[in-house]
Structure 1
Amino acid sequence: MQLIAEQLAGFVSNVRYEHLSDEVVEKSQRAILDTLAALIGGVPTDNARLSRIAAKACFGSGGAHAWFAEGGLHYLGALFANCAAASSLDVDDGHCLAAGHPGAGIIPAVLMEAAKLGSDGHEVLAATAIGYDVALRIAAARRFSDTMSFASGQWTGFGVAAAIGWLRKMHTDQLAHALAIAGAEAPQNLPQGDCQASSVKGSSPWSTVAALFAVERASCGMSGSIDMLDRAHAYNVGAITADLGSRWLISETYLKPYASCRYTHPVIDSVLALVAGRGTDEPIGRIAVDIFPEARKLPNEYAPKSLEGGQFSVPFAAALAALRGAEAFRPLRPHSLSDPQVVELAQRVEVRYPDEFAGIFPQGTPARVTMVVGGYERTADVPRPLGDANNPMDQSAVEEKLHDLGWDILSQAELDKLIQSVALLKMGEIAPLLACLTAKPVAISAAS
């Protein structure tokens, strides 16, 4: 009987673009556009800027680009920098059952590899769907515990290896070993606990670089522990390959309208509903947030000192949404951290973890917010935040997100050209997109 890694490798090797449904192609295309929106918005952050500096120092110079930022980087340095930018605002896509983010690692790897190999647009879309499917199947099949880490870098490498291996037309046996090596050498992040939020985030950059090394070494004949996915104590083994080829998990991903941890999104949606139509003279009293207990793992700082601290704080997100609206999260900028009214209101946010929300995560991320506005108590429930697979953002919403996150990096005309270039992938064309990725930015500076 074949091991799981061998089954996945055999499936990947036999996929063709023509096998993908229209829905899977559309979701793959939208995932690429959404990830590029997250990436372009992340370019000016300290996280991305310092990652570019470190990437050049560690990997040296070369002919590759950190997209929308600078050229002259080594291929691996550019790959690291692009993944860091895509994840730095925490506005990249995710999957509920996987409890993490696939696109920030998989899509930069696919596009850079496709550019190197001369692949076409159809191959980019197929490799994206393959990478998501392999990574998300493995991540969603993990047996969750209170002590585990939800860091995406622990599993995105499986998808990167699968996608790159497919683009390179690797032999099935080598691809199985590439998956095993990528999984074994992924960053083994510790659980967050109550620690301070960090720009390291889910370690997708290192996971992606490690996966590329895994593919290279497997191509040279190196072996990995290809039985690693057959451990029943760590995985629901049967779930990894269930409905393989007929159920594509990229169709089940969520997109993020706000640059903050997904846990905060139902809270933001609830707050925005409660303050809709609020008069400027109507004071906001107390705010009580009921949320699933896994949100305890967030630092939840009332007065965060970093973007990451703000992204991973339920009380701060609630206060910012109440006073400054959705636009304050497109993107979240450092000046919001020192907004005295927001910081003061965050101190008055009570976060509660009622029993009724226990056991719902990761299948769902619900929240209920009760707020006193103008002396009247109001309550809003959000079982599925905006962007959820069952409450999706449509194409126009993703395009708007790109414009909101990229207006100070590229001109409106260049952003429109980027949108059009992603649409051309379905026609098999990739050159227009690659030209957009290396466009000279308007300006690159630390986010203000």
Structure 2
Amino acid sequence: MHSLNSFIHDLTPEDLPDNVIEQAQRCLLDLLGVAAAGHRTRLSSIMQRFVTAQYPGDIPLLFSDQTASLCGSALFGALLIDSLDAHDGQVLTKGHVGVAILPALLAQAHEQPLDGKGFLTALVIGYEIATRAGIALHRTASDYHTSGAWNGIGVAAMLSRLRKLSPEQTAEALGTAEFYGPRSQMMRCIDHPTMVKDGSGWGALAGVSAVLLAESGFTGAPAITLQGPEVADIWQDLGQRWYILEQYFKAYPVCRWAQPAVEAVRTLRQHPGFAPEQIEAIHIYSFHEATRLHKVLPETTEEAQYSLPFSVASALIDDAVLPEAVAETPQGLQHPLRRQLSQRVHMHETEAYNARFPAERWAHAHLIMKDGRQWTSEPCIARGNPENPLITGELLAKFNLLTDGLMTTANQRHVSEACLASWGLDRLDVEALLKRLSGRLAV
């Protein structure tokens, strides 16, 4: 067991098991693919204009030819990834870590040269601290907060290490990041999906700001999610249990809560004679939070990403939920059959599935066809969990799908090879990777 401060400042690359290093590299690849695809959204262009105007500086924005300050670059990168709901997550936090950690790390890496060992070790520290902070906040807070409420604590821990804060400054930074993290209500953005998303942009901003403030002598309130006696057990296995190994990877760019239902209807496509045009009704049985994804006819990318009916309709057409399905285009949100099928979805809350949430997320589907045939799926979970992982080849395919038309084939290969780097801490060329991530995409 490490103390919190020693884990942040004294963890060495040699302390990391091989599978932890490999998982960090998978997270890096997956997040970068989502970030690139995020440039297709309106949110990304709005935020690019905002941060370049309000946070001027010389740090490159992710996949852009524009620059901003350390705070602005981290804020932009986190909202860029969050704009396309396809990034990794963790079931016990009911949220996302890497979306805030990676943009802050990339922004700092532009200021401070890092080798592969330093980069990936810092990334792991961010994941481990943020995940535990998220679990602790859910235990101690009465409301369900967005990821930004706690993933900024991981950002503060990671940057405290890289910027060599003292133990006292680190404690102040962590306390400030927790205090200023956006305690925004998650279910409000589920019921009313807009660009506020999961709060992770402001989590990244709070974490970076907290470290910069601590460097200047700013004092923060004690971080109760790190120090409270009621959460002490969460921190006892720091450096022994690696929560980064418990991240899930999304197969589709929609809310994770919709994905068990997506998998359920995908199994029903296999029946002989299946044709989506012949569906009369689609009954989905799942847990309460999934049934709150209620938007039937989404008009924006955000509404589509938080719509179980639209996600299911898209999966029945494409056997997957492709990125274009959540785009504001005639092939996406305005696709006639997607909209017709979305209106035929009926959602049912199931107590047996409620009892297993959040550690497990389940759904099953029942299709009624116009000719009277009826099919019921087995209970399904989403793909990409630790128990049914997306293998590296599938993550590469996802990365290529997300970046098609945005990167050349050569650049896709260069970025993916740089991320995976033959599974080695010392093989990741951070400087070369940063050059690949700076510059305008073909959008």
The two structures share one fold, judged by TM-score above 0.5? yes
Match for 2:46: what amino acid?
A: L
1:173 is aligned to 2:168:
yes
The alpha carbon displacement at 1:391 in A equals: 0.8
The alpha carbon displacement at 1:104 in A equals: 1.0
- C-alpha separation in 2, matches of 1:230 and 1:441: 40
Aligned to 1:245: 239
Match for 2:194: what amino acid?
A: S
Alpha carbons of structure 1 residues 180 and 164: separation in structure 2 relative to 1, 3 Å:
same
- C-alpha separation in 2, matches of 1:270 and 1:70: 42
Which has the higher mean CA deviation after the structures are superposed, 323-332 or 368-377?
A: 323-332
The alpha carbon displacement at 1:145 in A equals: 9.2
Match for 2:28: what amino acid?
A: I
Which has the higher mean CA deviation after the structures are superposed, 422-431 or 308-317?
A: 422-431
Alpha carbons of structure 1 residues 147 and 303: separation in structure 2 relative to 1, 3 Å:
farther
Task: Give the gaps of 5 or more residues in structure 2.
Answer: none
- C-alpha separation in 1, matches of 2:64 and 2:325: 18
Which has the higher mean CA deviation after the structures are superposed, 51-60 or 177-186?
A: 51-60
Aligned to 1:430: 430
SS at match of 2:376: strand
Q: How does 1:222-233 map to 2 (within 5 A)?
A: 222-229=218-225
Q: State whether residues 137 and 241 of structure 1, in contact with CA within 8 Å, keep that contact through their aligned partners in structure 2.
A: yes
Alpha carbons of structure 1 residues 100 and 377: separation in structure 2 relative to 1, 3 Å:
same
Q: State whether residues 291 and 357 of structure 1, in contact with CA within 8 Å, keep that contact through their aligned partners in structure 2.
A: yes
Q: State whether residues 260 and 363 of structure 2, in contact with CA within 8 Å, keep that contact through their aligned partners in structure 1.
A: yes
Which has the higher mean CA deviation after the structures are superposed, 71-80 or 308-317?
A: 71-80
1:269 is aligned to 2:227:
no
1:67 is aligned to 2:59:
no
Alpha carbons of structure 1 residues 385 and 117: separation in structure 2 relative to 1, 3 Å:
same
Q: How does 1:28-427 map to 2 (within 5 A)?
A: 28-60=24-56, 62-143=57-138, 148-193=143-188, 195-229=191-225, 236-276=230-270, 278-280=273-275, 283-298=278-293, 300-326=294-320, 328-329=322-323, 332-335=326-329, 336-373=332-369, 375-424=372-421, 426=425, 427=427
Match for 2:335: what amino acid?
A: D
The alpha carbon displacement at 1:294 in A equals: 2.0
SS at match of 1:326: coil
SS at match of 1:316: helix
Q: What's the TM-score, normalizing by structure 1?
A: 0.91
Which has the higher mean CA deviation after the structures are superposed, 370-379 or 130-139?
A: 370-379
SS at match of 1:155: helix
Alpha carbons of structure 1 residues 356 and 279: separation in structure 2 relative to 1, 3 Å:
closer
Q: What's the TM-score, normalizing by structure 2?
A: 0.92
The alpha carbon displacement at 1:74 in A equals: 3.4
The alpha carbon displacement at 1:433 in A equals: 0.7
- C-alpha separation in 2, matches of 1:365 and 1:70: 40
Q: State whether residues 306 and 334 of structure 1, in contact with CA within 8 Å, keep that contact through their aligned partners in structure 2.
A: yes
Match for 1:212: what amino acid?
A: V
The alpha carbon displacement at 1:357 in A equals: 1.2
- C-alpha separation in 2, matches of 1:236 and 1:309: 37
Q: State whether residues 260 and 329 of structure 1, in contact with CA within 8 Å, keep that contact through their aligned partners in structure 2.
A: no
Q: State whether residues 286 and 349 of structure 1, in contact with CA within 8 Å, keep that contact through their aligned partners in structure 2.
A: yes
The alpha carbon displacement at 1:115 in A equals: 2.6
Match for 1:432: what amino acid?
A: A
SS at match of 2:378: strand
The alpha carbon displacement at 1:185 in A equals: 0.4
Aligned to 1:3: none
The alpha carbon displacement at 1:123 in A equals: 0.8
Match for 1:198: what amino acid?
A: T
The alpha carbon displacement at 1:224 in A equals: 1.6
- C-alpha separation in 2, matches of 1:399 and 1:243: 32
Task: Give the gaps of 5 or more residues in structure 1.
Answer: 1-5
- C-alpha separation in 2, matches of 1:429 and 1:246: 28
Which has the higher mean CA deviation after the structures are superposed, 302-311 or 317-326?
A: 317-326
Residues 16-57 of structure 1, C-alpha deviations (whole Å, 9 max, x = no match): 111000011001111111110110110121011111011122
Aligned residues: CA RMSD: 2.2
Residues 364-405 of structure 1, C-alpha deviations (whole Å, 9 max, x = no match): 111111112464211223443111111111111111111111
The alpha carbon displacement at 1:243 in A equals: 1.3
**Count of aligned positions:** 435
- C-alpha separation in 1, matches of 2:63 and 2:159: 23
- C-alpha separation in 2, matches of 1:416 and 1:227: 42
- C-alpha separation in 2, matches of 1:145 and 1:318: 34
Residues 128-175 of structure 1, C-alpha deviations (whole Å, 9 max, x = no match): 110000000111233459962341100110110111111223222221
The alpha carbon displacement at 1:276 in A equals: 2.9
- C-alpha separation in 2, matches of 1:146 and 1:120: 38
Alpha carbons of structure 1 residues 144 and 275: separation in structure 2 relative to 1, 3 Å:
farther
- C-alpha separation in 2, matches of 1:44 and 1:431: 26
Which has the higher mean CA deviation after the structures are superposed, 72-81 or 86-95?
A: 72-81
The alpha carbon displacement at 1:327 in A equals: 5.1
- C-alpha separation in 1, matches of 2:288 and 2:274: 33
Q: State whether residues 331 and 405 of structure 1, in contact with CA within 8 Å, keep that contact through their aligned partners in structure 2.
A: no
Match for 1:182: what amino acid?
A: A
Q: State whether residues 285 and 348 of structure 2, in contact with CA within 8 Å, keep that contact through their aligned partners in structure 1.
A: yes
Alpha carbons of structure 1 residues 282 and 229: separation in structure 2 relative to 1, 3 Å:
closer
Alpha carbons of structure 1 residues 382 and 68: separation in structure 2 relative to 1, 3 Å:
farther
Q: State whether residues 138 and 144 of structure 2, in contact with CA within 8 Å, keep that contact through their aligned partners in structure 1.
A: no
